[in-house]
Amino acid sequence: MRAWKNTEGMKKITFRVILTAALAVFLGIGAYAGAGEKGHGHWSYEGEAGPNRWGELSPEFAVCSEGKNQSPVDIRGGAKGELKDLEFKYSDNPELDIENNGHTIKVDYREGSKVVVNGAEYGLVQFHFHSPSEHTLDGKYYDMELHLVHKNKEGKLAVVGVFMKKGEANAALDRILDNMPKKAGEKADVKAAFNASTLLPADRSAYYTYPGSLTTPPCTEGVTWLVLKNPIQLSDKQLAAYRKIMDNTNRPLQPLNERRILMKN
């Protein structure tokens, strides 16, 4: 009888652990996709609800201050690893679903596009921007950073980061900038095909990878980061247009702690 009770107790504990882990993954994906922020603690990039206070705003955000594998980080050096080229298999999105969620300009992506990371497939869910960049390269900030968010069948995330710097005008970016909603909560559906590969640099062979987290609450860890070394360009006019609506939306750098950054070049 005692053994039976112990077994039942272990089953209940195991169920609670699995349920808690599943909930954390769901909340993390939802928040980063801009679909799960209502009902959670209000957060911002400045003031009383700024990054230094995120972990205090809600129990669901605790890892923002307690986590040891947080993002973004400063990328320096990087150990050479046995890494394969990233395979971007993006198809045309039939329309641009653009949203101003109050924290970024986000574009949702339909199913069917994916990136292959060392043989593992992740489907593209959405992409969004930060200004200035969140990651730094040898201590250097870029003018902006593009994040392409991918999710595999198990719900794990892989985010491709692309640095953006001032230079030549970017025709692909115009499609988004010309239709950006100006107010938080507004959306724009543009009936025009768009392929996210047009926002990638021509040379995608060099990249850095490390285990990290979402860079916004709930700061869920277990995210595979893939930061491309080569940046894309945008013009002064394009940068000004974005920053007029959404600026200073980058989380401060986080300690690398015991993690290693690997590089492929």
| Tens-digit pLDDT profile for residues 132-142 | 999 999 999 99
Q: Which domains, and CATH codes, for the chain?
A: 2-264 (3.10.200.10)
pLDDT, tens digit (0-9, with 9 covering 90-100), for 213-263: 999 999 999 999 999 999 999 999 999 999 999 999 999 999 999 999 999
Active-site residues: which are they?
103
Tens-digit pLDDT profile for residues 31-50: 454 433 333 579 999 999 99
Q: What is the mean pLDDT of residues 55-82?
A: 95
Tens digit of each residue's pLDDT (9 = 90 or more) over 172-202: 999 999 999 999 999 999 999 999 999 999 9
Listed residue (190, 163, 162, 164) closest to 176, CA to CA: 190
Supply the pLDDT for residue 81.
84
- Nearest 5°: the CA angle 49, 51, 53 is 55
pTM for the predicted model, two decimal places: 0.86
The torsion defined by the Cα of 92, 94, 165 and 37, in degrees rounded to 10, comes to -120
Query: 194: which DSSP letter?
Result: B
CB 115 within 8 A of CB 89: yes
Distance of alpha carbon 17 from alpha carbon 24, whole angstroms = 11
User: Going by DSSP bridges, is the β-strand pair 232-234/157-166 parallel, antiparallel, or unpaired?
Assistant: parallel
CA quadruple 87, 91, 96, 97: dihedral, nearest 10: -70
The two structure tokens encoding residue 201: 């640099």
Q: Which pLDDT does position 40 carry in this prediction?
A: 53
